[in-house]
Structure 1
């Protein structure tokens, strides 16, 4: 199914909400195609082609009559007069010929004008195969009557309804899952075999036909405190809503479609679907997500304990070099713990790195040299980063900020800047550039051996982040370190 939106947008005759109503029609007309056992096409006026096909849907309950896609094409000459007649009369028109569209195929074609606020907005054509000579079953006759009732409502502007469910929760019932037709009092007039089976799984062993669906549903509920407040309106067919009922470990999704004419509601359709397995899997995912969050939380707690032990050990050290080494190890462990704390607060695979690094950036500068006054300024946006980037990048920034404070500023007041810039390369890769600058003494004239911190940085940048690292003199004095990497997750 596809739809061309440009003809709709460019049509000045449409009123407020008309285009949205046509989109709502195309979004829900699979239901009608399945009930009618017919292909449906949506036609819209076009100055060059008389009418153009905006959309086409094939039935899932029967074979299609059109294997090639004709969306965007003009209407055939033998179908145009029927569509024009329906457009002007605003009533359903049926072709008197059975071979319209294809001389080798016997089909019944109906043109249904979609009318809203007294104006015809488009015409739906229904194409049903008549080549089968067998007598239609009661199911087929009921389905086709339901399809006719819905299309008849379309000529009155009563269907589709803007109150119809458009939520994102999975498990929307379809015609093949189960259908019940109710009268105006909510009594079941017809129940498809799949619909009967769905309610049998809930515990109902009697026939549904001739019984009130509201009473049947009420008798099946074990815990009425958990009932959705919309359930009574759905099982009586009064409102076009969705709801779910659960009993004996079975979850049933219900959707009601009221049937109306120009004056009153005369019945309703209720679609039902057994979504027990779907809900079970969703609960498993929620449980697994909660478990992962708990693991991250416990790892964070354990790392904080390790950092506390290192801090206690450093206080007992008599050697300044040993004490400094333990303090650096403590800072690195605390950085990793901060990342796990962030991961434990959400379910997404991406991490909001800006929120994480704001705390880490200031903390790194303060802890690196608590005796001196260091200002920190951050610009740019990191955005959402893959979780497998978060820990190594946080460690790299921590080491570079610490290096800037300890060696760049060298026990004097100064400023450390952190900037992030995200862009897209010519090859379509997302690139992250991070720069850390200070206004300190600048690069040494004679390079000296790298310490453990810079060795850690180089290892993480090349092996974990797959990036490049470069040092340069900052204009105005000081040093700038630039890190560049492609945001391609390496977690797989």
Structure 2
């Protein structure tokens, strides 16, 4: 144990933190304990990550209570049952435990096994019986799990309630022995079965002693017509499979209840997710609880989404290919024309088409309509520089900040804006120069985007009475920049000269897709 003065300092720091943030969460409460090492904290995190099944089976609220340095106790975490009305409608995490319970909690902390309260207490209008499970880990007692049972729920119970409560008590009694949470559990499925979805009680040999109505319905969906009680669950489950049906390696362990693991059973065009919870007493394994959940519709929706995502990606891929074909035709036409003005116009059109094609290429590589804009724009601007520079020119682009993920609705016009700015800088700012530098600074907060593009080129040549640079030709690039920024992003474009020489363009925009998502 840590020296008392060390604990006292941490208690003071902990209370100061509570005053600052209003309420500490579980992680902060654990961090306030200097006598806990990383493995102790990990064990407690593991416990609260998996104790919902105990609350649901027991029809009871659970509280995790830790001792404080001043001899009191604090509620570090709570768990409400999803199978019955909770006793705790309010959050009690970070609340100090009443002084009249300290003596009972002290006795429970010293217990090697389950400690039962000798008095009934009141929570709201309910009469509650408390049972304590001391949490032993690495030779020390970390705290207590309190099972709060509303006595009114025990007045009239049927087979379902009796079997559920019995199983919940067995799991609860495994806590002091360090057998729950499971040290070697393997959870692979995304849709983990819950108590309310259906549960089966197995004997040590894997024989079904009880199956809840929902569990029976799950196996009916799989095609089972036998009475499950008294049957080996492994025989019932494997009997549903045909020659070509998938057979996960973990399935036998789940059906026999021999390991804390999950799996899926797929038959009769239905899918049931199952999870095995072995039960132990002082002598060893006594049986298991197998949770069942019909995930047929969830799997069907996932397959539909995968098909939809694949279709969208394929569309973007084909659009990219078609745009690249258009770009190739424009490049071919530019080579055949003898007019320098027409050639330049065709080359600019080819570059713009290629820019849109690269955005679609990025979209074709993801399942979402969102691209990592930093990767897309880096390739695009490199391409723009390569196309605009002369043979002996060396133009470098530097980035400050990140654009982040961006929907296609914003990515395409923003790509065109930035490539036009870079091309304009290279063609006009570095005309007649061997090298140069362009810096792109990005500031993004939610749907607000600020982009500053700077170059150390020859600077602006402003037309009288205008706030944009005078560029060669028709100035289509400048028109594209202003049109997209103003119309698509409701933003502004400001051109100004750099003090060190060159040009600075400041874009203030509001991303449309981000704005709609935040509403």
Q: Please list, as runs of the form range in 1=range in 2, the aligned pairs for 1:375-390 lying within 5 A after superposition.
A: 375-387=395-407, 388-390=409-411
Q: Please list, as runs of the form range in 1=range in 2, the aligned pairs for 1:38-187 lying within 5 A after superposition.
A: 38-48=60-70, 50-97=72-119, 99-101=120-122, 105-131=126-152, 134-165=155-186, 169-187=189-207
Deviates more, 1:331-340 or 1:18-27: 18-27
Are 1:400 and 1:436, in contact at CA under 8 Å, matched by a contact in 2? Answer: no
Corresponding pairs, count: 485
Question: RMSD of aligned C-alpha atoms?
Answer: 2.5
SS of equivalent to 1:226? coil
Q: Report the Cα offset of residue 372 of structure 1.
A: 5.0
Deviates more, 1:295-304 or 1:215-224: 215-224
Give the alignment partner of residue 461 of structure 2, picking from 410, 426, 444.
444
Give the alignment partner of residue 278 of structure 1, picking from 289, 295, 298.
298
Question: Aligned partners of 1:484, 1:133: CA distance in 2, in Å?
Answer: 65
CA distance 1:251–1:485, change in 2 (3 Å): same
Q: Report the Cα offset of residue 38 of structure 1.
A: 1.4
Q: Report the Cα offset of residue 446 of structure 1.
A: 4.4
Q: Please list, as runs of the form range in 1=range in 2, the aligned pairs for 1:54-453 lying within 5 A after superposition.
A: 54-97=76-119, 99-101=120-122, 105-131=126-152, 134-165=155-186, 169-223=189-243, 226-387=246-407, 388-422=409-443, 424=445, 430-439=448-457, 441-444=458-461, 446=463, 448=470, 451-453=475-477
Question: Aligned partners of 1:31, 1:339: CA distance in 2, in Å?
Answer: 47
SS of equivalent to 2:53? helix
Q: Report the Cα offset of residue 354 of structure 1.
A: 2.6
Are 1:43 and 1:123, in contact at CA under 8 Å, matched by a contact in 2? Answer: yes
Question: Aligned partners of 1:134, 1:204: CA distance in 2, in Å?
Answer: 35
Q: Report the Cα offset of residue 71 of structure 1.
A: 2.6
CA distance 1:429–1:378, change in 2 (3 Å): same
Query: What 5-or-longer segments of structure 1 have no aligned partner?
Result: none
Q: Report the Cα offset of residue 90 of structure 1.
A: 2.2
Q: Deviations over 1:325-365 (max 9, x none)?
A: 12211111111111111111112443222322232222212
CA distance 1:323–1:105, change in 2 (3 Å): closer
SS of equivalent to 1:17? helix
Q: Report the Cα offset of residue 247 of structure 1.
A: 1.0
Question: Aligned partners of 1:334, 1:133: CA distance in 2, in Å?
Answer: 72
Q: Report the Cα offset of residue 194 of structure 1.
A: 0.9
Question: Aligned partners of 2:316, 2:427: CA distance in 1, in Å?
Answer: 32
Q: Report the Cα offset of residue 319 of structure 1.
A: 2.6
Mapped pair 1:473 → 2:497: yes
Taking structure 2 as the reference length, the TM-score comes to 0.86
Q: Report the Cα offset of residue 367 of structure 1.
A: 1.7
Q: Report the Cα offset of residue 114 of structure 1.
A: 1.9
Question: Aligned partners of 1:162, 1:468: CA distance in 2, in Å?
Answer: 58
SS of equivalent to 1:220? coil
CA distance 1:132–1:352, change in 2 (3 Å): closer
Are 2:452 and 2:504, in contact at CA under 8 Å, matched by a contact in 1? Answer: no
Q: Report the Cα offset of residue 240 of structure 1.
A: 0.8
Deviates more, 1:2-11 or 1:156-165: 2-11
Question: Aligned partners of 1:224, 1:49: CA distance in 2, in Å?
Answer: 63
Are 1:405 and 1:416, in contact at CA under 8 Å, matched by a contact in 2? Answer: no
Q: Deviations over 1:22-77 (max 9, x none)?
A: 12222222211111111222211123472111222222222223333333222234
Question: Aligned partners of 1:370, 1:319: CA distance in 2, in Å?
Answer: 19
CA distance 1:368–1:105, change in 2 (3 Å): closer
CA distance 1:49–1:3, change in 2 (3 Å): farther
SS of equivalent to 2:224? coil
Are 2:53 and 2:194, in contact at CA under 8 Å, matched by a contact in 1? Answer: yes
Q: Deviations over 1:401-425 (max 9, x none)?
A: 222222222344232413233354x
- Deviation >6 Å, runs of 4+: none
